[in-house]
Each structure stands twice: as structure tokens, then as C-alpha cells.
A and B are shown apart, each in its own frame.
Chain A
Amino acid sequence: MTSPDRRRYHHVETTDAQLVRSALDGDPTAFAVLADRHAGACLRFAMHMLGSRADAEEVTQDALLRAHHALARYDDHRSFRTWVMGILINRCRTSMLQTRRRSARVVLDAAAVERAAVDSTADVTELRDTIDRALARLEPGQREAFLLKHVEALSYDEMAAATGANISALKMRVQRACEQLRRLLEDDE
């Protein structure tokens, strides 16, 4: 049985906590299943934060590898997704500091562009561009809070655990991000 086959062998209903235990007990495929399960959301968050598919892929792989290495420190009272998101958030922050691409934040996702060109009307494509431009204009802390709350659907408790910020500050950032996005989207209409 190949590695992908072994990964598929894990039942989809196996919980993250069970997979973590299996990985720590020596099951080499358990963490691969976890990575597959959360890679999409991680990549989505990183793309929206960094505005670059290539950078997002890099930090997502890096975050998942770091999670793998630090798995023994995972506290299973927390959601695994929140824990991984915390690692990813730090990697995104570091990446933004290193590349200084905030001012030129453009989603360079060739697949998305192709998909938009093929299956979308001009309205949808325009909406994506508008959203990207609006997100790019948000202050990084507000963008991060908005994405965690409304795109990754984390609770404020989970956001606080993942970001290290307090809940009041996060609520304020989300509120300001929503106000600004609403204004930017309306201006773009």
C-alpha cells in the first residue's frame, strides 16, 4: 500500500486528537492525514494574508512541518486547527516582515485566475479583484483578525489563543476591518 493509499485508509471521521495520538505513537501516516485535512484552510489564510500563492505555499508547508516537529507540545484541550493556525500566523507575520510586500500585495494565484477566467462571469472576476484590492488596503492586524473570524470561522477565544491578542482588541480589529471593507467594496461598485 502506498503512502497516499495508507492516508486514505484513515477514516474520515477520525478526530484530529486521535490522529495526533496515533502520530505520537508512531503511525507515520497519521500526521499526513492531518496535514491534508488542514492544508486547504492554511493555504487559503496564507494566500489572503500574503497576497502571493508562492509565498503562501511556502509558509503553509513550513507551518505544517513546524507543527509536525512540535507535535509533542500540542495541548489536546485546544483545537488542532487553532494550534496550527497559531503557527501559521507567526510564519505569515515573519514572511511579511521579510519580504515587505504589503504595499504590493496582489494575489498571484495562477489557478484562481484561470478558474475565474473559465467558469466565471465578468462580475465574479471583478468581485475577486475588488476583494483582493480591499484586503490589501487593510492594516495587517485587521486583515488577520477579519480572516480568522469571518473566513476561517474561529471563535474569539480561539483567535486569542492563536494570535496572542486579547479578545477586546480582536473584536475591535474585526469591527474596523468590516467597516473599512464595506466602505471599500461600496466605493468600488
Chain B
Amino acid sequence: MTDDWTNDVHGRLADAVRVLREEPEISDEWSASLHQRLEGAGQPPSRVQSRRWQVHPIAAIAACVTCVVLGGAVTYATMRSRQSAAGSIVEIASRDVATAPTNLPVRFSFVAPGANHVTIAGDFNQWNPIALPMRRLPDGHTWVVDVTLAPGRYAYSFIVDGRLAQDPTAPDAGSDDFGVRSSVILVKGS
């Protein structure tokens, strides 16, 4: 509250303000009437709806710790998931999905930052290392290829700049006759 009126008003106006500031006398009758009405009004309604939340400091700390732990767990899980994806991602439209018995569209994808050439080889192309080149997506590190496969089980591997790379997100197909580990995809029919 500011009370700097003497800086703003001068002379006769200042005299007027002094007079206006005099508090009127309050009669005993009026005061008694007011208090009678207040007593008659009873207790003011409680502040249930407008009361602010009050949290004990220990509860607040415990809540913060819980949030940090949960947040960390979620972040860790997300990072693990992304790390796996950095190895490869297989988006298989038909995997675990009942579809028609004809050939089914399947998209393979593989995250290979810094790779220059990626292909896929497997049972579906007689392990030809150059028959199915993958294309790089605009993000610069994800490679994809779309194929159509008949329902069945296929072992496969990615070939990144001439080196075989296993799909870390798919089941392990075990070592082939040459000691190379590959991945496996199961394409289900209807």
C-alpha cells in the first residue's frame, strides 16, 4: 500500500484530502447491529475447496526420489531399446499376424550409421549377397528393403559394407554350416 499522496496533491486539494481522510465516528448502535448480524450469520464456511495443498517435506522428497527412479528406469529402457535398434530394426508386417496364404509384404530395416552399402541375404534369396540391396532413408542411418515372402521360416543376415551382421532384434537362427550366426523370421499365413 502506498501513501505518497502529498507528492501528488498540493494546496487546497491536499487540504481536501486531509479532511476526507478523517474516519467517521462509528456509533455504538451501528457497531452492535453489525456484530449482532455477524453472530447471527454463524461460522463462515470452511476453506475446504480453496485450501492449498500442504505437503510434508519428507513426503515431497520421497515423491521426488520416486520420480527420479521411475524416470531413470524409463530412460534406461528407452536407451536400451534404441541401442538395440542401432544394430537393426526389423519391421515385419506379417510376423505374428495372421494373413492370407499368398506372399506377404515384409519390410526389413537396419540401423547402420556410417555404412556405405547394406544388403540382405537369406533363405529367401539363396543367400545372394548382392541380390537385395537396401536403401538408405533420409535420416541417413536407417536402411530398408521391402520384399514379399510366402509363409514360412527364413534365416537371414545383413551385409554391411561386405560384413555379415546379425539382427539383434530377431531370434537367433544359430550358426550355419560356415559358422556364421544369422537371424530368423517366421512369416505366418492365415
Interface residues of A (CB under 8 A from B): 3-4, 23-24, 26, 28, 31-32, 35-36, 39-41, 43-44, 47-48, 53, 57, 61, 64-65, 68-73, 75, 79, 81, 109, 111-112, 115, 124, 127-128, 130-131, 134-135, 147, 149-151, 153-155, 158, 178, 181-182, 185-186, 189
Contacts and interface: CB of A to CB of B under 8 A. Distances in A.
Contacts of A48: 20
Interface of B: 1-3, 5, 8-9, 11-13, 15-17, 19-27, 30-31, 33-35, 37-39, 41, 43-50
Contact of B16 (A4, A75, A158, A181): A181
A23 B49 CA distance: 16
Given A24-B44, A65-B38, A178-B9, 15 more contacts: A3-B35, A24-B47, A35-B35, A35-B38, A36-B31, A39-B26, A43-B26, A71-B45, A109-B24, A112-B24, A124-B19, A127-B15, A151-B20, A158-B1, A178-B8
What secondary structure prevails in chain A residues at the interface with B?
Answer: helix
Contact of A185 (B13, B33, B44): B13
Contacts of B39: 3, 28
Contact of A72 (B9, B24, B41, B49): B49
Nearest to B15: A127
Nearest to B40: A65
Contacts of A124: 19
Given A26-B43, A57-B30, A40 B23 contact: yes
Contacts of B15: 127
A122 B6 CA distance: 25
27 contacts: A24-B47, A31-B44, A35-B38, A39-B34, A40-B23, A41-B23, A43-B26, A44-B21, A47-B24, A65-B38, A71-B47, A72-B45, A75-B50, A79-B1, A109-B24, A111-B27, A112-B24, A131-B19, A131-B20, A135-B20, A150-B5, A150-B20, A153-B3, A153-B5, A155-B1, A181-B13, A189-B12
Contacts of A109: 24
A127 B19 contact: yes
B50 A73 contact: yes
Given A35-B35, A39-B31, A150 B19 contact: no
Nearest to B16: A131
A189 B121 CA distance: 108
Contacts of B11: 182
Given A39-B26, A112-B24, A150-B9, A64 B46 contact: no
A109 B25 CA distance: 10
B13 A61 contact: no
B27 to A, nearest CB: 7
Given A151-B20, A155-B1, A72 B47 contact: yes
Given A72-B48, A150-B8, A53 B24 contact: yes
A36 B34 CA distance: 9
A132 to B, nearest CB: 10
B126 to A, nearest CB: 78
Contacts of B9: 150, 178
A91 B35 CA distance: 19
A153 B24 contact: no
B2 A155 contact: yes
Contacts of A150: 5, 8-9, 17, 20
